[in-house]
Amino acid sequence: MFAQWALMGIVGIAGITGTLAGCLPVHAASACSILSILSPANDQLLTSYNGMDAPSLIPAIFGSDIDREPSNPPQMWPAATGSAAPVLSDLPLPGLLRETALPVDYCGLHQGMAAALILAVLGGWISLQTYSTNRKLRHEMRECESAEAKFRSLVEQRLVGIFIIQDCQFVYINPKFAQMFGYPVEDMMDRLGPLDLIAQADQMQAHEYLCHPPSSDNSGIHHTFSAIRRDGSLFELGISGEAHDYQGRPAILGVALDITEQNRMQRQLNYLAFYDSLTELPNRALFFDRLNQTLAYHKRSGSSFALMVLDLDGFKGVNDAYGHQIGDLLLVTVGRQLRNCIREADTVARMGGDEFTIILQDVHQSDNVILVANKILATLTEPLFLMGYTCRISASLGICIAPQDGSDMETLLSCADAAMYESKARGKNTYTFYRSALNSDRLAKTPLLEWSEQLHLGVTVIDEQHSQMVALLNRIGEAIKQGREEESVMVLFNELAAFSHMHFETERQLMDETVYTDIVAHQQEHRKLLEELHSIRGQFDSVSPLLTLQTLKDWLRSHIIHSDRALAEALIASGTETATQELFQTLHQPIEE
């Protein structure tokens, strides 16, 4: 501000000087002296006019067209006859001008005033521009300081660690980074380097990634290390960084995350996606993947493998007599026994309910398969003692051999499934090879899901609707096996969805009548089942038909055996079963098979 006001003062003095220069006759030397004092930078220019009298000096400076003797010159001071013109020292002017004692001859006030006005306006404009620019700069500086403070606060309070590494040493870390390792920031900066925080097994990789900034053509650093906390415990550290210049030298700017829990959750999700949560055996999805890999391997090698489908006999009786807890424990025990009956290279999976599948690798002759089948049957027929209860079950096995009985998943599973039903028809607790027991006509007539005693709940209206849903499911399975057009299959899907919605509404009415305590959870289960059915229908054209059929089969079995069994028991206990007869007559809508 002081500089601005000083500039304005100089411009004002220049204006006054211009005014006086226009209205006073001055000697050239005196005029040059004044202007030289006011503007030392023009000394050389003014010297060139030295020796000129005032009438010659003014036109030389301001132009020859200036009339130095106007017809009616303004009279600034009255002139006395015979008296001398006033001198500058007689005027009330500052000491500098008074000392020059310039004589006054005439006054061209209009030229001086014009020059003064131009200089004043120019000076004011310069002052305003300077003031505006300085004000804008101060505002921008305040904004920069505020942004820097916010950015620093953001970095310091981030939930992720932030670091800068230069020459394999930390030059900056935020508090979160130090907190992950259990150190104060100062201790890490003063005493520790990046390699001091990495487990010995990852030292070489850490040195490669953290001590050498990535080149310009590199996308950056993305790596996981086993890191060491201050207390010696290990955790999984995820690092992401890029090369940057820091104080004119290459460095690594990056973020760090403790991803131990994230990786644990991801492993758990992956496990749940491919393993049965109850028995910890591979589930249907993983089984299909392994069966597909097995087919590819044996096609290349030319060897054979066996596929078994196993269904437990007597499981429903145990489940009904002793409850679901014993039933679940029985399934867990069976899963463990089946694993003990096969080799490590083989696969046993739970397809849903009490149905299991087994892949036996590199089968050179059927006798090897028979040995495994007999071992399984002998193991499962032994009594099981579970929580004080004695449980007796057996199994029906269906067996097929690839590639003799088929070279694709759909054919092999259909063959083994048909052979399993043949074992049940022969009295259960036995095995059947497909090639010796069945023909193609029997295979084509094998239903996707048979209505059995296991699916019977004892509530008339619910059992009737369940049987119709099974019939619809089998019609979908038959249409898919016959290779019908997708449009006709979608019509059957829509029928099943509409009937399922009606069935769930029937159950809601029954729950309202009995004041069923788990009505909210049961209705949520209904919504989930409808969403799953729509999802299966939507993915029909993008997944294996066999996978679609197995998913549909498990979808309905799970609903009947798990969701509706508890409801049926509550309805029977409350005496509502007798009242459902009228409802059954109203809602009964048989479906032709």
**Four-residue CA torsion sign, 268, 274, 279, 280:** negative
Both tokens assigned to 518: 């788990």
Q: Which helix (H) or strand (E) holds 311?
A: strand 305-313
| Burial of residue 200 (number of CB atoms within 10 Å: 0-12, 13-18, 19+) | exposed
C-alpha–C-alpha distance, residues 278 and 339, integer Å: 15
Residue whose structure tokens are 């209705």: 523
C-alpha–C-alpha distance, residues 272 and 30, integer Å: 103
Q: Which residues of 203-224 are buried (b: 16+ CB within 10 A; e: fewer)?
A: eeebeebbbebeeeeeeebebe
Peptide bond into 250 cis (omega under 30): no
Residue whose structure tokens are 């679940």: 328
Other Cβ atoms less than 10 A from the Cβ of 349: the count is: 26
Which of these is catalytic: 258, 354, 405, 554? 354
Beta-strand relationship, 430-433 and 394-402: parallel
Residue 191 CB-half CA count within 13 A:
8
C-alpha–C-alpha distance, residues 291 and 279, integer Å: 20
C-alpha–C-alpha distance, residues 177 and 161, integer Å: 4
Which segments of 339-474 are extended strands (E)? 347-352, 355-360, 384-386, 389-391, 394-402, 430-433
Of 297, 278, 274, which Cα lies nearest the Cα of 287? 274
Looking at beta carbons, which pairs linking 441-445 to residues 24 or more positions away fall under 8 Å? 442/418, 443/414, 443/415, 443/418, 444/481
Other Cβ atoms less than 10 A from the Cβ of 423: the count is: 24
Residue 202 is among the residues annotated as catalytic for this protein: no
Known catalytic residues? 354
